[in-house]
Structures are given as structure tokens and as C-alpha cells.
Amino acid sequence: MKFYSTNNKDQKVSLKEAVIKGLAPDQGLYMPEEIPILHPSFIENLPALSFQEIGYEVINAVFGKDLTEEQIIDLVDHTLSFDAPLVKVEEDVYSLELFHGPTLAFKDFGARFCSKLMSLLVENQKVRVLVATSGDTGSAVANGFYKVPGVEVIILYPTGKVSELQEKQFTTLGENITALEVDGVFDDCQSMVKEAFLDQELNKEMLLTSANSINIARWIPQCLYYFYAYSRLPASDKKLVFSVPSGNFGNIAAGMLAERMGLPIHTFVAATNVNKVVPDFLKGVPFRARPSLQTISNSMDVGNPSNFYRLLDLYPEPNTLKEMIRGYFYDDATTREAMQEVKAKTGYTMDPHGAVAYLGLKDFMATNPGYLGVFLETAHPGKFRDVVEAVHQEEVVLPERLAAFLDGEKKTERMANDYQEFKAYLLSKK
């Protein structure tokens, strides 16, 4: 399978190049040149399959020409080493819990797939993975790549804008993981990383790669849990809607990839916090990057969602895109209220990101009857303990593996919001 750039469909590269480059040289995002359509009998038979069995089939459809059967099994088993249970919250409303991985957020899926695939593709070369994070990417990537031989991970994050627990998950590991604390916001970190990938001088000196959600090795495996969720829903004639709490829009774009591969999803809800570039676009406002605003769902504090062009690419006709995806956005007060109400009504505890998705789902379903709805719960409530405890006035019990990070010692290096300083740093570590 070849992968083309969203900026130029004639610019095709191999799987290895797409994964190592991350971003195309023309700054486009890589897309599979052909989206495989899965056989209807596979879709029908989904309820009889395990998560892993679903994974082998879907991953084989995309990567089968580039990897051996053994490599695919290895990749899928490594990625899907934990469950993604579907929990009924209300009548016709389900939570897809994607937080049962090592760092308790959905990014574990992409990060685990990515680290495994990179180690298969690079063989004996030394690679540096550059990551900009607003929180959860850093912890998922750091833990996914921790002690992977031949791979150095450098994480850039905005100082003071990441929760203590998130920060501890990628600043305490050491070994092949370095954390740089940048005086700026997430978008500044992302710009510095993007600039490094485009810097020819730097790229002559070292093999740089990305593990951000723009990388196909992070992005594509996320489609797996949409298939799995579908397989675990009760049989129903109702139309299916997925609500996805969105920041960089990689997760929702992966759901749309699943739909294009043949999964019968009728509608997607793009639920955001007040960083609402995409909901605005869906209402007819021209797409325009904006500075990001800080919220309680900080992993979605993104003003320039980098996977946006994947949405356009998956549904090139503007009307189809606007029919497939509905935008909703919420401020922090509304998000807190939803957390409180759902807990009071059903006993279910949501993290702020999941709560934004829940709100979008409910608002969509209120005006569109006859749907079965799934919202993606992207993080364990304990990852956003301060917010969750303040809302419910009770302690959130941290899973043990998360609590263990808090005992670690934070080790970071400070970095100005200045590309030249970052570049000099990289060169000094050659």
C-alpha cells in the first residue's frame, strides 16, 4: 500500500517512509491510497469475534501487503493487550471506555501500535521521535516507547498547562525518554516539532520521526475500537451515532475511516470544548486556526486541529462531510454540570473529555430521534482528578499503576518558545 499526501495525491510514498516521515514534505498528512472495503459478511459476523480477531482482519486489510502475517498478529496483540468495554449509561446511550491501557487514556492504542510498527520498520537505525503534547499524547508515547531499543523520544509540552499526574507520566521515566518544558502553549510546541521535520539541515544530521496523531501509525489503529464497539452493541434497527471528544481530530477521523471501510455508522458528533474551530466550520464559518484556550478538558485545547484535512480527504464533497459529522461545543461550566447530573442520575463517573462527548451525543439525540448512541470515554476520571473531585466532592480512587507515577521524580529541561534553541538542543544531543 502506498500513502499519498493530502496536499498532493500524486506524491506517494511507501509505508516505511510514511511512518518515519510522519508529516509529508509538503506538510500534508499521509492517507492510504486506497481505502479497503471490508466484506459485508465480516461486518455481519463481528459479534462473534474477539477484539484481536477484529484487529487482525482490519489491520491486514490496510497493511497486509507490507507486513507478514506474523508481524500483523504481533502488532495487534501488542496494541490490543487491554479491553475497551462498552458500558450502558442510559437507554440507548453507551460509553466506550478507552482508558484501560497503561496510561489510562485512549492514546495508548495508537502509541502502542506506533512503537511496535516503528521498531519493525527501522530495523538497525537510530531514530528520534519528536512529540508535542497537551497532556495525554506525551504519557502514552513515553510509555509506549519506553526502553524500545534504538528509539529516543523527545517530548515537548507547555509548561504549567498539563495536570500534575499527566506530567509525571512522561517526565519521570528517564532512559530513552526526555521531556522539554516549553515556555508557551501546545500550539507553540506543535509548531516547533513541525519546523524540525521540515528543517533539511537538521534532517541530514539525524533520523527524525513523529509520533503525534498525524502519524498514520498512530492514526489508523484507532479505527479498531469503532469496529469493536459496534460488535458489542445490542442488535438494533436504530441508526448509529458516535460522539467523539475532539482536539486534534485524529480519533474522529479514525472513526470515519472505519465508516469508509464499511462499518455502518450513520453520523459522527464532533464534540469540543470552547476550542471550536471545527464546529464553527461545520456551521459555515471558514476554517481558520486560532490560538488555543485553556479548559478543564485540556487534552482538547487545540486551536489548529491537525487532522482536519483528513476529514476533508475522507469526505471530499463538502455536503457529505457536513451530513456525516455534526459539531457541538461546550464551556467548562456546562461540562461540570453534565458530570454531576450523570453521576447523580446513573452513578456513572465521567472525565471532563468524556463529558463533552456525552453532552454532544445527548444534544444530537434530542433533536434526532431513533438513534443508538455511543460516546467515547477517552480518559480515566482519575487522570483529571482535581476537576472530577471538585465536581463530585468526593475522592477519586486512582488505579494503582497510575498512582505509582506520582512517586516518581520529575526530570525536565526548560526550553524557550524558540525554534533555534530547540534545534541547537537537538544537534547537541547527536
User: Which stretches of the chain bind ligand PLP, using CB under 6 A?
Assistant: 105, 107, 136, 213, 245-251, 299-300, 353, 378-379
> Closer to ligand PLP at the Cβ: 336 or 353?
353
Query: For residues 232 and 246, what is the distance between their CA atoms, to the nearest angstrom?
Result: 23
What is the chain's alpha carbon radius of gyration, rounded to the nearest angstrom?
A: 20
Min dist. Cβ of residue 340 to ligand PLP (A): 19
Min dist. Cβ of residue 246 to ligand PLP (A): 4
Min dist. Cβ of residue 238 to ligand PLP (A): 26
Of 25, 26, 29, 36, the closest CA to residue 1 belongs to 36
How is residue 143 written as a grid cell?
A: 510509555
> Closer to ligand PLP at the Cβ: 171 or 378?
378
Query: For residues 44 and 263, what is the distance between their CA atoms, to the nearest angstrom?
Result: 10
> Closer to ligand PLP at the Cβ: 21 or 380?
380
* 3-state SS record for 382-429: HHHHHHHHHHHCCCCCCCHHHHHHHCCCCCCEEECCCHHHHHHHHHHC
Query: For residues 48 and 301, what is the distance between their CA atoms, to the nearest angstrom?
Result: 38
Min dist. Cβ of residue 372 to ligand PLP (A): 22
In this structure, the number of other CB atoms found within 10 A of the CB of residue 164 comes to 12
Q: Extract the runs of DSSP E, i.e. beta strands, from 258-394.
A: 267-272, 325-329, 371-377
User: What amino acid occupies position 87?
Assistant: V
With cell 501488542, the residue in question is 78
> Closer to ligand PLP at the Cβ: 6 or 299?
299
Neighbour-count burial for 65-98, b at 16+ CB within 10 Å, e otherwise: ebbeeebbbebbeebbebebebeebbebbbbbbb
Min dist. Cβ of residue 309 to ligand PLP (A): 14
Are the C-beta atoms of residues 236 and 166 closer than 8 Å to each other?
A: no
Min dist. Cβ of residue 404 to ligand PLP (A): 20
> Closer to ligand PLP at the Cβ: 240 or 252?
252
Of 300, 375, 320, 286, the closest CA to residue 96 belongs to 375
Terminal alpha carbon distance of the chain:
33
Query: For residues 215 and 126, what is the distance between their CA atoms, to the nearest angstrom?
Result: 18
Min dist. Cβ of residue 382 to ligand PLP (A): 12
> Closer to ligand PLP at the Cβ: 67 or 171?
171
> Closer to ligand PLP at the Cβ: 72 or 353?
353
Min dist. Cβ of residue 38 to ligand PLP (A): 23
> Closer to ligand PLP at the Cβ: 67 or 86?
86
Instruction: Say how far residue 341 (Cα) sits from the centre of its chain.
Output: 27
> Closer to ligand PLP at the Cβ: 57 or 385?
385
> Closer to ligand PLP at the Cβ: 112 or 353?
353
Min dist. Cβ of residue 103 to ligand PLP (A): 9
The secondary structure of residue 374, as a DSSP letter, is E
With cell 539525524, the residue in question is 206
How is residue 384 written as a grid cell?
A: 483529571
Min dist. Cβ of residue 361 to ligand PLP (A): 14
Which residues does residue 61 pair with via DSSP β-bridges, in sequence order? none
> Closer to ligand PLP at the Cβ: 72 or 133?
133
Min dist. Cβ of residue 388 to ligand PLP (A): 12
Q: Would you call 2 exposed, middle or buried from its count of C-beta atoms within 10 A (0-12, 13-18, 19+)?
A: middle
Of 224, 288, 218, the closest CA to residue 250 belongs to 218
